[in-house]
Amino acid sequence: MTITDLAAVDRNEIVPALGDAELDGLLAYWDAANYLTVAQIYLRENPLLREPLLAEHIKPRLLGHWGTSPGLNLVYAQLNRLIRRTGAQVLYIAGPGHGGPAIVANVYLEGTYSEVYPRVCADEAGLLALVRQFSTPGGIPSHVSVPTPGSVHEGGELGYALIHAFGAAFDNPDLLVACVIGDGEAETAPLEGSWKGIRFLDPEHDGAVLPILHLNEHKISGPTVLGRAPQEDLLELLHGHGYAPVIVAGDDPRQVHQDFAAALASAYEEIRAIQQDARAESGHAAGTPRWPAIVLRTPKGWTGPQEVDGIPVEGTFRAHQVPLAGVRENPEHLAQLERWMRSYRPDVCFDAGGALVTELAALAPEGDSRMGALPAANGGLVLEPLDLPDPAAYAVAVTQPATTRAESTRKLGELLRDVYVRNPTNFRLFSPDEANSNRLGSVFEVEDRMLRDGRPGDDHLSPHGRVMEVLSEHNCQGWLEGYLLTGRHGLFATYEAFAMVSASMAIQHAKWLQHGRELAWRAPVASLNVLLTSTCWRNDNNGFSHQGPGLIDTMISMNGSVVRVYLPPDANCLLWTADHCLRSRDYVNLVVIDKQPELQYLDIDAAREHCARGAGEWEWAGNSLGREDADVVLACIGDVPTQETIAAAALLREHVPELRFRVVNVVDLMTIAPADVHPHGMSRDRFEALFGDSTNIVCAFHGYARALHQLLHGRPNASRFHVHGYSEQGTTTTPFDMVVLNEMSRYHLVLDALRRARRIAPGALALERHCEAMLVRHHAYIREHLQDMPEVRDWTWPE
Ligand SMILES: Cc1ncc(C[n+]2csc(CCOP(=O)(O)OP(=O)(O)O)c2C)c(N)n1
C-alpha cells in the first residue's frame, strides 16, 4: 500500500474479524511453527516423526531457547494474516532474538528460507537439513541472526529491539515495524530509553512502529519486573511514554489468537488513521499522536511440557531454554518429548512429501510481502548511493602549512548540510544534542531538529525535522544502525568519551557486518560512520570525565575486514575522509578529530593524496638531509598530536640543525598494523621506507599508547616506537596543559627525540635545557595568567 492509496481506505473496514475457519487455520499454522521450533532444538533425524522417536534421533547437544518461541510464532502467524489482508509491508523485529528457531521456522514455512538456501527445501529432505543445521557445527546460530532472511536485528545482546525498529521506520513511510520486546529486555537501560522513539517519529514521512511487549513474566531464572508489576502500573508506564497500550492475556490458544487478531487489527487501523490524518492535505499537525502498543501476556514455554519430573515448567523460568534436557538418557523424557511434539499434529500440517499442506501454505503472504523476503530487511537491496558534493567546495585555503587555524568539523558541517540537500530522504545525522556543540550546526541551515512536541522559541526544531538529536548515545547509534540496515546512510557524531556508552552496540554491529559479508544474498549496506569529536585533548569546558579515547581500543580489536579508524590532522583531510566513509559499505568507520580551532597543514589536493595513501612523510617539516638515514623519526597520529609534533620539529630544526629526522603523519590508523592483520596494513617495504628498520621513532598518538603498541605488534623491531599518548591525566585546564600532563607536549617530544636519536647533535644539551625550562615556565605561567603562554597559544610554523 502506498501513501496515496491510504486516502482510499475506510479505517473501519481494513481487517475483518477472525472467523472460526480462519482461526482454525491460524492455529494449525501456529502448530506447524511450534513443531518446527521444537524439532530444530531436538532432532538430528526423523524430522516429521514418521517413525517412533528414538534416543538416536536426538542431537547430542541441545542448544536453543524454547520459552519465548510460542509467543514469537503467534505474532508471526498473526502478522502474516495482517499482511495478506492489507498488503502492509512489515518488518519483524524479534527482541528476544534467542528465539531463533521460531523465526527460522516461520521463514521456512513461508517459503523464503528455501529460496535463499535451496538445500533446505520444502520436503522431508529439506526438513532434515533444517533441523540438523540448527545450533550445530557448520550450521546456523541459535539466534535470529545475520543468516536469517528478513532479519536486521540479532537480539543476542538484549536492549536494542525498539531502537532498531525506530531507525528502520525513519524515512520509510510505507513500512510497519512490528517489534517484539521481551519483558526481560524491557529491564535494560537502552530499551527503557527507547520508548521515547515515538516522539521522534513523523507520521507524515516515516513509517510506523508497533511495540509488542511479550510479557511471559520470566527471564532465565527469575521473574521480570514488568511481569510482576501491577497491570495498572504497566499500562500507565506505557501511557506515560505516549502509547495507547492494549493487553492481550491468557493461556487458551483459541481465545488468545482471537483477542490478538482483534488487537492487531485495531492497532493497524489506528496506525493507518494516524498516518492518513498526518498525510492529508490539511495535515502537518504537530504533537505526538498516541500510537498503539500491544502487551501480550502468555505463559513462558506456552504449549510445552507443563511439568518435568513433577516440577512445573510451562509458565516458569524453567521453560527458558530446553525444557526436557535428559531425553537421550531418560526414556520417560523421550516419551514426553514425543507426546509434546505430536501434540502439534505434524502429520496434519505436513503432506506425505514433507511440505506444508497447501491450505496452510496459503496463509502466508507471497513474494516480497513475506517478512523473510522484505527487500529492505535483507541489507542494501534498496540502497541508493549518496549524491555527494565535491569536498573541494569546502576546502580551507592553506598556502603555508601550520600557519592558519580553522575549526575542522565546521567544514564537515557545511558538507553535511549539502548532503542533506542532495539526499532529502535517505541521509540523517544522529547526535546526542551536540550537533551545534560539535560545530556541525550548518546542517540547521537546511534541516531542523526532530521533535514532535515543539514550542515557539525552540531553535531549529520541527515535527518534521530530520536531524536526530536525543540525549541517548544508545538511541543515536541504534537508530542509525536500523536506518543503515534498511538501506540508507548516516553519521553519528558524538563526544569521544561518551561514545563508550554505546561501544557495545558498535561491537555488535561490527559482528553483524562481518557475518553479513559472508552471505552473498545480503547486499552491502552503507557503513556505520561515527565521528568522535570534543576529544580527550580539548575538553575545555569539562575535563577528566569527558576524556576517554577508548573506542579506538575497542574497535581495533574487532575483525579487520569491517573496522576502519581515521585520524585526520586537519579540515581538508577530514573532508576527504568523510567523503570516503560516506561512499563506503559494510564498515564501522571511526573518524577522530577535535572541534576547536586548530592548525591546518595540507591544501585540498595534498590532503586528498595524503588520505589516499593513509600515511606519509611530511618533508617540509623534517630535516633528513637528502637520502641519508634519519637519526630519529617523529610520527604523529591525530590532530593535537600532529600539532605538537610539528612544533617539536620546528624546535629541532632551529636548535639542532644537524639532527637528521623525518616527520611522518598517519591518517589511517590501520596502516600501522601488519598487512596480514588488517587489509590496510602497509607492506613491510613501505613501512620501512617511512620508519626505517632500526631508527627510533618518537610517536605522538591521539589515544592510549597501548592501542598503538597493539597495532605495532608483528612489525620488525617494534620496540623502536616510543609512544606518547593519552595516559589518563586530565582536569579542567588549558589546552597545552593537557598535553603537558600527558607528556605529549612539543617539549616532551623534543626531549624524547634527543634521547632516542642515533647520535647526539650539536646543540642538543642546550635544547634539552630550553625544553625543561619551558615546562617549568608553563607550569608557573598558567597558574598566574590562567591561560597558555603566548608562544604556545599563538604558535605557527616559523618559515
Ligand atoms: C544485554 C544482555 N544481558 C543478558 C543477556 C542474557 N540473557 C539472555 S536471554 C535472557 C532473558 C531474557 O528475558 P526476556 O527478554 O523476557 O525474553 P524471554 O523471556 O521471552 O526469553 C537473558 C538475561 C543478554 N542476552 N543480553
pLDDT in tens, 288-310: 999 999 999 999 999 999 999 99
| Alpha carbons 249 and 255: distance in angstroms, whole number | 9
- Ligand 1 atom nearest the C-alpha of 224 is 16
| Alpha carbons 400 and 395: distance in angstroms, whole number | 14
pLDDT at 325: 86
Between the CA of 220 and the centroid of ligand 1 the distance, in Å, is 7
Residues with CB under 6 A from ligand 1: 67-68, 96, 98, 156-159, 182-185, 188, 214, 216, 218-220, 224, 300, 320
User: Cα–Cα–Cα angle for 404, 409, 413, nearest 5°?
Assistant: 125
- Ligand 1 atom nearest the C-alpha of 227 is 16
Q: Average pLDDT for residues 557-561, to the nearest whole number?
A: 94
pLDDT at 542: 84
Phi/psi-derived region of residue 287, left when phi > 0, alpha when psi is between -120 and 50, beta in every other case: left
Q: With 70 as the cut, is the pLDDT of residue 660 above it? A: yes
> Cβ atoms within 10 A of the Cβ of 280, count?
13
Residue nearest to atom 21 of ligand 1 (CA): 68
Where residue 22 falls among pLDDT bands split at 50, 70, 90? very high
Residue nearest to atom 20 of ligand 1 (CA): 68
Pocket test for ligand 1, best of 69, 218, 220, 297 (most atoms within 8 A of CB): 220
Alpha helices in 517-592 (DSSP H): 550-556, 571-583
Q: With 90 as the cut, is the pLDDT of residue 282 above it? A: no
Residue nearest to atom 16 of ligand 1 (CA): 184
Where residue 625 falls among pLDDT bands split at 50, 70, 90? low
- Ligand 1 atom nearest the C-alpha of 187 is 15
- The angle, 0 to 180 degrees and rounded to 10, between the axes of the packed helices 100-109 and 20-42 is 120
- Ligand 1 atom nearest the C-alpha of 99 is 21
Pocket test for ligand 1, best of 98, 215, 297, 318 (most atoms within 8 A of CB): 98
**What's the pLDDT tens digit per position in 396-449?**
999 999 999 999 999 999 999 999 999 999 999 999 988 888 899 999 999 999
> Cβ atoms within 10 A of the Cβ of 598, count?
24
- 459 contact partners, CB below 8 Å, separation of at least 6: 444, 449
Residue pair 158/188 in contact (Cβ under 8 Å)? The answer is yes
- Ligand 1 atom nearest the C-alpha of 181 is 15
Between the CA of 103 and the centroid of ligand 1 the distance, in Å, is 17
pLDDT at 380: 64
**Cα-to-chain-centroid distance, residue 185:** 18
Pocket test for ligand 1, best of 75, 160, 187, 219 (most atoms within 8 A of CB): 219
Residue 383, phi then psi, degrees to nearest 5: -75, 120
Between the CA of 164 and the centroid of ligand 1 the distance, in Å, is 17
Q: What is the mean pLDDT of the chain?
A: 95
**What's the pLDDT tens digit per position in 90-133?**
999 999 999 999 999 999 999 999 999 999 999 999 999 999 99
pLDDT at 4: 34
Where residue 11 falls among pLDDT bands split at 50, 70, 90? very low
Residue pair 269/14 in contact (Cβ under 8 Å)? The answer is yes
Between the CA of 228 and the centroid of ligand 1 the distance, in Å, is 16
| Alpha carbons 186 and 798: distance in angstroms, whole number | 60
- Ligand 1 atom nearest the C-alpha of 68 is 20
Q: With 70 as the cut, is the pLDDT of residue 13 above it? A: no
Residue pair 162/168 in contact (Cβ under 8 Å)? The answer is no
Q: Average pLDDT for residues 693-720, to the nearest whole number?
A: 96
Q: Round the CA-based radius of gyration of the chain to a whole number and report it.
A: 30
DSSP letters for 47-96: TT--S---GGGB-SS-----TTHHHHHHHHHHHHHHHHHH--EEEEEESS
Residue 441, phi then psi, degrees to nearest 5: -60, -15
Q: With 50 as the cut, is the pLDDT of residue 253 above it? A: yes
Between the CA of 217 and the centroid of ligand 1 the distance, in Å, is 12
CA–CA distance from 265 to each of 29, 207, 254, 298, 777 (Å)? 19, 17, 17, 19, 75
Between the CA of 197 and the centroid of ligand 1 the distance, in Å, is 22
Between the CA of 43 and the centroid of ligand 1 the distance, in Å, is 24
In 203-312, at which residue ranges do the beta strands (DSSP E only) sit? 208-214, 244-249, 292-297, 307-308, 311-312
- Ligand 1 atom nearest the C-alpha of 157 is 26
Pocket test for ligand 1, best of 69, 180, 185, 194 (most atoms within 8 A of CB): 185
Q: Average pLDDT for residues 4-22, to the nearest whole number?
A: 64
Helical (H) or strand (E) element with 192: helix 189-194
**Cα-to-chain-centroid distance, residue 256:** 35
pLDDT at 185: 98
Give the strands of the sheet with 427-431, arranged side by side: 461-462, 449-450, 467-469, 427-431, 489-495, 528-533, 588-592, 563-566
- 216 contact partners, CB below 8 Å, separation of at least 6: 67, 68, 71, 182, 183, 227, 297, 298, 299, 300, 301, 302
- Ligand 1 atom nearest the C-alpha of 155 is 25
> Cβ atoms within 10 A of the Cβ of 77, count?
27
pLDDT at 382: 76
Q: Which residue has the higher pLDDT, 673 or 7?
A: 673
pLDDT at 3: 34
pLDDT at 713: 96
pLDDT at 403: 97
Residue nearest to atom 7 of ligand 1 (CA): 220
- Ligand 1 atom nearest the C-alpha of 95 is 15
Pocket test for ligand 1, best of 153, 158, 217 (most atoms within 8 A of CB): 158
Helical (H) or strand (E) element with 25: helix 20-42
Residue 247's DSSP bridge partners are: 295
Q: Which residue has the higher pLDDT, 542 or 294?
A: 294
Q: With 90 as the cut, is the pLDDT of residue 7 above it? A: no
Between the CA of 70 and the centroid of ligand 1 the distance, in Å, is 16
Residue nearest to atom 18 of ligand 1 (CA): 68
Where residue 628 falls among pLDDT bands split at 50, 70, 90? low
Between the CA of 69 and the centroid of ligand 1 the distance, in Å, is 13
Q: With 80 as the cut, is the pLDDT of residue 655 above it? A: yes
Residue pair 58/292 in contact (Cβ under 8 Å)? The answer is no
Between the CA of 98 and the centroid of ligand 1 the distance, in Å, is 8
Between the CA of 102 and the centroid of ligand 1 the distance, in Å, is 16
- Ligand 1 atom nearest the C-alpha of 182 is 15
Between the CA of 535 and the centroid of ligand 1 the distance, in Å, is 35
pLDDT at 284: 63
- Ligand 1 atom nearest the C-alpha of 214 is 20
C-alpha cell at 355: 511440505
- Ligand 1 atom nearest the C-alpha of 320 is 21
